[in-house]
Structure 1
Amino acid sequence: MNKRNALYGLGILPPLVPLSVYAYKALQGRGCAVPQNHDVFLSFRGPDSRTGFADFLYSSLVAAGVHVFRDDDALPIGEEIGPELLRAIRSCRIAIPIISVQYAQSKWCLRELAEIMDCHREHGKSVFPIFYKVDVADVSNLRGRFGAALFEHRKVYRDSSEEERVRDLSEWRKALASVARIRGWISQTIANGHEGELVKIVVARVLTELKTSWIERLPLFPILMSNHHIRSLYYYYSKEKRRHSQCQVFLAFRGPDTRYGFAAYLYISLVAAKIRVFYDDDTSIIGKVISDELMNAIDHCKISIPILSENFASSSWCLRELSYMVDCKKTKGQTILPIFYKVKPSHVKYLTDCFGDRLREYEKRCDRDQCEKWKEALKKVGSFKGWESERINNGHEAVLVKRVVQEVSRLLKNPQTHDRHLHPLNIDSILG
């Protein structure tokens, strides 16, 4: 059976003649559609990066054989910039918005971003954001230059109709908040801000994304994917295929406390033991909604290892992860192996010291029910068996990592023996 007949059998492709008619009608309904001539659309604020980072990235992508659209050399002479840019966004497979300090000062950049995020939401377009010398939280919460830029646009729009002003400003706010939720690259954190290394990483990820299956290269694939039912079926089978490579262990930690120290060492050691570990720096989640990927990873892992450090409860993300771990333990019997990193288990269990302080702060500004869930999760995990770092060989972290790896390896080989590690017992019985 050839590939086309196989698709007929699955019900993904209709017979040839109706498909041709369907394609013709679909193209008629897409008067603004253009041929997909480019792989990547670069969106950037010229004064920030046109002759620097953006140019370096563009040249490197082109050198790697990637067809890149950028507004200074891909637009035909005499075209109106606005409509042509929007058509280019729709036709490219990957969009890379370079969110820099002055990005939001440009209405064109904001219009591009709004269209990019609309295509991401409606058609699953890949979006790989680069947060270039900016704080992601500033982008998400419209702080600093981003909030000021939106305020200035509002003043400039004074002569426009109220409806137009409200619509555009709302779309721009929504686009900035949405792109901040997608996992991308933060320039300052890549190789200590070394831009050459960041460019290499971005190019490698783009090339990986462009390696597609034969069905995705069909000329009619974009048209087929415009149908909700076909798109849902395609994503379902793609997800099932990915399940075979699901990670076994989920690491949760507060970045500033342990990312470049203990957490990194533990991750490397687990991988060296041939254990599949989900780490929030995993390049496979670039371009995906962070919250969805984190919860999905916890859901499919067999073991979760929360590294409860001094500032763990300072992160609402960490608390959400911990709460979902506890839910998965209740519903699926998953294992939680906590590491109390330079904190006492009693501080976690009884919400004292820094853990109590952080929860009281959340109670002032967060949903009450959410705070209660976080409290219960901390209390629960604080009573589980685990490791107290400062009691392992006088705080020798290499010894602690070795013990964690040994225990994880044992549990993965003998899953039926994991239940005794899930119940609240005296932690002193396994420490030291």
Structure 2
Amino acid sequence: MASSSASSSMPRMSFRVFLSFRYEDVRHNFIGHLCKALDHAGIFTYNAIDIEESGMGEDMSITIMKAIEESRVAIIVFSEKYTLSSWCLKVLAKIIECKEQKDLIVLPVFYKVNPGDVTRDASKLGKNLETAKRWKAALYYAGDLFGWRVRRGASKLGKDLETAKRWMMALREARDLLGWRLGYESSEATLIKDIVKTISELISFDVYLSFRSKDVCENFVKSLNEALVHKGINTFMDSDNLRMGHDFPPALMDAMELSRMYIVVFSENYAESPWCLKELMWILERKNRRKKLMLPIFYKVAPGMMRAKNELEEPGTVRAQKEPGKVKSYGEALEKHKVEYGMRKVKKWREALSEAADVNGKHLPDGNEDDWIPRIVEEIEKMIAEIR
């Protein structure tokens, strides 16, 4: 198994891939490259250190089993020594259990081994089961002669027997699943690209969260995302890590296209970001042409600040004091963009902001998250129920 870690700085989505592998077999290259490629595609991964090899306790084991239950996809990397680890087999059995009970998608990778190698390991385990059965029968017989202490040992062996049986069945089932085989002459880069492509095609999101990360990423949006995930709502949380160059990266485009609805968090410095403005135009186009739902959240910003050229404000709005060198006005931010992007584009951005301001949403004048997040989640649940 792998180390307890997650993709880059913070999870961008609830879509999670659990990676099961034997640490000493694949730790140096393949797993590291695969995790990096999945992270670049915006896919959150979970890996967990082999409990036996790391010396970690039962608490970590419980955490890892819970991570499997919360995952959407499990990738099992069968390597030369995978089946020699009782921890790997325990995790494998849990993965197969979740496949049957929770519709977990399981994808095996045969890393420099053949599927038949897994079969042979299962056969060896089967022979051990037969031996264990004979031992159990002998212990029970001896228990009748010598007392309950011996029979207690037989009972423990019975539990071990059931565990081994589950492991054998899990190995056989995983062996027969559709997956990938990497031979000694195969290209790891090509295989990793294929794995990422396959998983990306499986993704669909209930909610796409669009926001200005410098304003609210570490507090409000993160808390909102966690609350949505807790309710079983599949989210994609945009990240500055995905924004490179002038064009939308494929991972971002795919996530926006595959989302059922959009949550746009308008914050104090939202209009400073050309990325946010481009994203808003794209979202509004999907809303208008494809009838996708959009819920704007006005975080410490009055909707009136986004309207018209003269930035009409709602009655009673109190303007924050402007700090030196810091833009507080949407109008000022748009004026600055004219230099680089031109008047025509800025005009479209201004119109997009005005349109978004007229969409029914939630206004958080004081940013009190504890009060507002449950209400927002409830509203999102209702909206999703209409389109599911």
Q: TM-score range by the shorter chain?
A: 0.3 to 0.5
- Give the greater-gyration-radius structure (CA): 2
Q: TM-score, normalised by structure 1?
A: 0.43
Instruction: Considering fraction of residues, name the structure with more strand.
Output: 2
Q: TM-score, normalised by structure 2?
A: 0.47
